[in-house]
Amino acid sequence: MLKKVLKWTGIVLLVLIIALAAAPFLFKNKIKAMVAKAINEQVDATVAFEDVSLSLFSNFPQANVTIDKLSIINKAPFAGDTLVYMNEINLKMSVKELFKGDGETMALQSFSTKNGVVNILFNKDGVGNFDIAIKDEAEKPASAEASKPFALSIQNYEVENLKFKYFDERSKIKVVIDSLNHKGTGNFAANKLDLDTHTTAKLTMDMDKTNYMRNVALKLDAVLGMDLDKSIYTFKENKAFINQLPLEFDGSVAMVEAGQQIDMTFKTPTSSFKNFLGLIPESYSGSIANVKTNGDFTINGKVNGLNSDNSVPKFNIAIASNNASFKYPDLPKSVENIVIDTKIINETGVLNDTYVNLDKLSFRIDQDVFDAKANIKNIIENALVDARIKGTVNLGNVAKAYPVKLDMPLTGILKADVETKFDMKSVETGAYEKIQNKGLMSLSGFNYQADGFPQPFVISQADVQFNPSRITLSRFDAKTGSSDLAINGTLDNFYGFVFKDQTLQGNFNMSSNKLVVSDFMATETKTTTTTKKTEGEGEKTTTKKTTTSDAVKIPAFLDCTINAKANTVVYDNLNLTNVSGKMIIKDEAVALQNVKTNVFGGAIGFAGTVSTKGATPKFDMNLDLNSLDITQSFTQLEMLKSIAPIAGVINGKMNSTIKVSGNLDAKEMTPDLNSLTGDLLGSLANTTINTQNSKVLTALTSNLKFLDPSKLNLNQKINLTFSDGKVNIKPFALKYQDIDINIQGTHGFDQNMNYTVAFDVPAKYLGSEVNSLITSLKAGDASKISVPVNAVITGNFKSPKVSTDISKSVTSLTQQLIKQQKDKYVNEAKDKGKDLLNGIINGNKPKDTTKTTTPKTDEEKVKSGINAVKDLFGKKKKQ
């Protein structure tokens, strides 16, 4: 009997296991259809999800349903915008709920989400993207009302890592709640319940491009009394933190047809001044547990009224402190006589009627007192600002009283006595006549180590004057490394830059005794760690630091003109003197106008643009080179060295105009040679040639012995173009004594070349044998006989190959001589024939020629000339 029981028990268990394993496949399609139906019957949006999975083993007899990658995409007027995205949704229910038929309610016991995003948008017409419920009954499916796929009997829920975004196009308010983690426990099956919640998040808020909060840490542990029948939610036991500031809430929120009826108060549970330090993120304020404080700091607030599309609740928030102080235990100085009196008030329920009164903010460090006050009204439509700042701050004492994290301590004295009154529309439109300013701000002895820069930046004196319609930088004297700067000018759009994220406009004059460009180029230090195993020593770890330059970017926020002068500018390995010109900085580019400098024993003038707007910096420049020393120019400028590698070969001066454009190296801001395109028109003066320094000239003279390059006349204009890493020399003529020379060809920046040189060589340069031949043949004036000789130069400048058409030249000369002799003898024969015939007619006898010697034949004379020419071009002479 026992055997049978065990047998049947085993069979039942096996059947149950098989059923549990098969259930996900049997119910999967049903669940997918149910989820899709539950959502699509209720919303006017595009809903999609990747998959739905079912698990029965993990929490049996509970079933876990997972929905992957659920997205809800808006239709018009927010077509294409994502309202909700959930990477994962988990639902928990009883297994028996899976066996319910169509139309029967399935009860959910809990749910959770992971890695979701919610985007709430309001357009300029005040329409929100979240209102996606189907309102027209005719649009709902017939079964939608009768079918209720899900009912809530939730005991707990959890939201993990949710990102909530809110943006109102009308008010320009942007709120981001990031890293939101929230969980709650309560019996949702009851109409009245207490929901125990725990929440953490980070809050960022911007209004009209002005940031008010950035990654403010929020924490709330609260018990919410929920009356689901009346939709009233009451704060009971609660404890909240804003950064490290504790707050307590009391009141309720009721959901009504028009919106939310809010009646709430909040306050700090204690009045210790540590509450103020708690407002500051811990990364900036450090641990405040052991900070010694005196005086009080309180926040009290009341919010009451309807929050709807047309109104906000009335509120009154007061922040106050009187004669407070604090001192960090490990810092030598304290901040004393702290007074804060600030109110944020709305008395009408209209958001634009909100105003902020900073009636007093003051503090003292040592003997330096700082005092400020401000009033801001009409904050939404056109904020009106009335502010005054007066005081002195020794920046060196700030880090001694407050834990500021700096690579090197700040030094300097900041003084301010400024009053300003303006409205934001005047700032936006540049109506500076409506802005009222007066006062002075100065900074002296300021010393700061900017991140990545090789040397600290020292401002000896900076003075800014605030006039009724303009802000003037009357003085700015600074040094960094071995560079010095003196700047003065006007700031035309200071408030637009500070409050509206507009470009900083101005006109400045800059002068410098010495300006070293590398002093202003940021560097980045990278540390790499490698571990290597060595026999007998185990693992050995080595750390290597390398320093590289960051990509240079012209700031996008600058829109200014600078008239600059500098006695010396050091750029890379160049020393420029007497530098002057105008720079127009705009749209991440610099336009250079009428820039002049002395360098390489001459002067350079240039104009053009440099832009860093794209991924690759670009430049387009016109250069005027006047009397530059050739050796220095073509040795120190890589661009000229690549265009014409003549350094050390030709000495003298160069005049040239160059039009060039191309890419720049993003880090060093030097030209990318292979990208260069342009042309050069130049001439040389007072030149000498060092043949021994040029392998090309050495190879050429070894083939053409009559040529002495040191005697070449180079006072000719040269025109060349370059692109794609190649230089094309347009044909030009040189004169060597009475030899005409024509040169043309190309070479690459890689030094490979292909040139042809054509010589028109008078016969007299072909040697004494050729001239004797010409004389013996009585071929006429040797200076009138010339021979074309062509040389082809290939290879590269370090290893050139030279070939000439010598045989062709010899043949040409031979043919000329043969023709001349032939014509000569034919004419002589004709003359003798005539004389002989006349003698016979006249009875004269011919002369006896039997005793004369036999002269060389024409053939022998010609052969003798050919051998002489061959000897001239390097052939071995016959003994």
Answer yes or no: are the C-beta atoms of 133 and 43 closer than 8 Å.
yes
Question: Could you give the CA distance from residue 127 to residue 104 in angstroms, rounded to a whole number?
Answer: 36
**How many CB atoms are closer than 10 A to CB 673?**
17
The pLDDT assigned to 202 comes to 92
Q: Helix H segments across 637-679? A: 638-643
Question: Could you give the CA distance from residue 563 to residue 490 in angstroms, rounded to a whole number?
Answer: 13
Query: Which residues of the chain fall below pLDDT 70?
Result: 1-42, 55-61, 95-106, 134-153, 209-210, 281-285, 407, 450-453, 469, 521-552, 647, 766-784, 806-807, 809-818, 820-821, 825, 828-879
- Which residue do the tokens 């960094």 mark? 480
Segment 254-284, tens digit of pLDDT: 988 888 899 999 999 888 888 888 777 666 6
Cis check: omega of the bond before 645, within 30 degrees of 0: no
The pLDDT assigned to 461 comes to 95
pTM to 2 decimals? 0.64
- Determine phi and psi for 39, rounding to 5 degrees: -85, -50
The pLDDT assigned to 6 comes to 41
Residues 6+ apart with CB under 8 A from 853: none
Q: Positive or negative, the Cα torsion across 19, 23, 25, 27?
A: positive
The pLDDT assigned to 104 comes to 64
- Count of helices and strands (H, E) across the chain: 12, 40
Bridge partners (DSSP) of residue 605 are 596, 624
Question: Could you give the CA distance from residue 688 to residue 711 in angstroms, rounded to a whole number?
Answer: 8
Structure tokens at 136: 């027209």
- DSSP calls for 448-477: E--TT-SS-EEEEEEEEEE-SS-EEEEEEE
The pLDDT assigned to 20 comes to 42
The pLDDT assigned to 852 comes to 47
Residues 6+ apart with CB under 8 A from 483: 512, 514, 515, 516, 519, 520
**DSSP strands (E only) in 664-750:** 677-689, 717-723, 726-736, 739-748
Structure tokens at 538: 């185990």
The pLDDT assigned to 879 comes to 29
Question: Could you give the CA distance from residue 791 to residue 757 in angstroms, rounded to a whole number?
Answer: 5
Question: Could you give the CA distance from residue 219 to residue 197 in angstroms, rounded to a whole number?
Answer: 11
The pLDDT assigned to 21 comes to 41
The pLDDT assigned to 69 comes to 87
Q: Are strands 384-394 and 800-804 parallel, antiparallel or unpaired?
A: unpaired
The pLDDT assigned to 872 comes to 45
The pLDDT assigned to 469 comes to 67
Bridge partners (DSSP) of residue 685 are 653
